[in-house]
């Protein structure tokens, strides 16, 4: 049976664009959901790899099924588990992605040190959110602006509205942060 590439929502398309993927990159997606982003990311990878982590068994089953060819070919792995950097070697990933993963802005102690642990000096961390309204988008921007500079360098906050949906992206490099991991 032929695999059909899923249509990606605007937030996922924008997130993948912001990752600036190269064929050699190793990518970690935190909260991979049903694997729509994975399908598009794996299509861009040559010798690179993809790891998707999600705490929902249903999401991992859907992601694995959607990306069966990438899983069988050894390009993609999906784990049913909460994100935990202790499960990974340090400095393993070139790109780290999180789309609509609220723990990075809603939790009192967001897991930024865990993300930094799996990144090397030239890695990029991209978070994209589709909040329900402009008030929430402004709230997320403010929280991130205060929290992330202690852990990441070159934190950039971008806003975009696509088809009426208010989107926000946070793009951060790993090098030279004030509180290195």
Report the number of distinct structural domains present in the chain.
1
For residue 73, being part of any structural domain is answered with: yes
pTM for the model stands at 0.90
CA nearest to 159, candidates 11, 3, 8, 5: 11
- Give the pLDDT of the chain (181 residues) as one tens digit per residue: 445 566 789 999 999 999 999 999 999 999 999 999 999 999 999 999 999 999 999 999 999 999 999 999 999 999 999 988 876 677 889 999 999 999 888 877 778 888 998 999 999 999 999 999 999 999 999 988 888 888 898 899 999 998 888 999 999 998 654 444 4
CATH number of the domain enclosing 99: 3.40.50.150
For residue 101, being part of any structural domain is answered with: yes
- In order, the DSSP letters of 35-101 are SHHHHHHHHH-SS-EEEEEES-HHHHHHHHHHTHHHHHTTSEEEEES---GGGS-TT-EEEEEEES-
Is there a contact between 9 and 37 (Cβ–Cβ < 8 Å)? Answer: no
């Amino acid at each position: 049976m032929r695999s059909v590439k899923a249509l990606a929502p605007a937030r996922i398309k924008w997130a993948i664009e912001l990752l600036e993927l190269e064929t050699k990159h190793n990518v970690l997606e935190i909260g991979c959901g049903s694997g729509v982003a994975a399908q598009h990311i794996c299509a861009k990878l040559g010798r690179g790899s993809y790891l998707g982590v999600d705490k929902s068994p249903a999401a991992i089953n859907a992601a694995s099924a959607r990306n069966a060819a990438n899983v069988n070919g050894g390009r993609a792995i999906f784990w049913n588990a909460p994100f935990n950097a202790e499960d990974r070697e340090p400095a393993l990933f070139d790109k780290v992605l999180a789309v609509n993963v609220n723990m990075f802005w809603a939790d009192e102690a967001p897991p930024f040190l865990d993300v930094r642990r799996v990144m090397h000096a030239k890695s990029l961390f991209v978070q994209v959110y589709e909040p329900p309204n402009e008030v929430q988008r402004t709230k997320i921007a403010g929280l991130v602006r205060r929290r992330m500079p202690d852990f990441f360098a070159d934190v950039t906050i971008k806003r975009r509205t696509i088809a009426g949906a208010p989107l926000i992206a946070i793009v951060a490099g790993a090098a030279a942060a004030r509180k290195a991991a």
